[in-house]
Amino acid sequence: MRILIVEDEPKTGDYLKQGLAEAGFVVDLVRDGQGGLHQALTENYDLVVLDVMLPGIDGWAVLRGIHKAGKDTPVLFLTARDDVDDRVKGLELGADDYLVKPFAFSELLARVRTLLRRGTRTAAPEFLRTADLELDLMRRRVTRAGKRIDLTAKEFALLELLLRRQGEVLPRSLIASQVWDMNFDSDTNVIEVAMRRLRVKLDDNFEPKLIRTVRGMGYVLENPDCA
């Protein structure tokens, strides 16, 4: 799941980005309104966390811009003032929810999860499964043959992507754009390293092997018994 944060206060932005990344989301942070709007329109995010008071164009203008472009990405806005007018304005402009600063991170995370569940307009699956592998999206847990497998946030995001697109060969560029943030350096081998670690945890002690490398093309996850 990809989240865009538009927030100019350096500490708040960094704190939100780090917290959401640790919670397993792929997070991009933009520190001004114009850049935030551009990013929201050129990439596909599952959610935008939008500060209202921004340099350049403010959060309201970003929100209008997103809707004007026909994007229905859910938006959670952050307002510094506990001002009824501000909250009403945001919701009237089509934001999905808001938080008044300062807020506890746990509160933000709870709102984010609720919006994401609502945001997937089709009934969201809570589990992704193949063979004896099960990924629990809400509790963020993975088991294989009933045994708990501990994954890092990145490994979890990688596995989620592979499971959502089972049977499809996913090129590195697609994996990079879905699992790593906009600062991803394509000259490094971080995808290979993460994939190797994931395969060790997922496939080394189990049969059948689920993840395959397709030389020169990318990676695929499929249950060979059903392929």
Tell me which stretch binds Ca ion (CB under 5 A): 53-61, 101-109, 174-182, 205-213: 53-61
- Residue 93 or 116 with smaller CB distance to Ca ion: 93
Q: What is the CA radius of gyration of the chain?
A: 19
Cβ 79 to Ca ion shortest distance, Å: 9
Q: Does 51 bind Ca ion (CB under 5 A)?
A: yes
Q: Does 8 bind Ca ion (CB under 5 A)?
A: yes
Tell me which stretch binds Ca ion (CB under 5 A): 6-14, 110-118, 151-159, 166-174: 6-14
Cβ 14 to Ca ion shortest distance, Å: 14
Tell me which stretch binds Ca ion (CB under 5 A): 45-53, 60-68, 110-118, 190-198: 45-53
Number of chain positions touching Ca ion (CB under 5 A): 3
Cβ 78 to Ca ion shortest distance, Å: 8
Q: Does 53 bind Ca ion (CB under 5 A)?
A: yes
- Residue 100 or 153 with smaller CB distance to Ca ion: 100
Binding site residues, Ca ion, CB under 5 A: 8, 51, 53
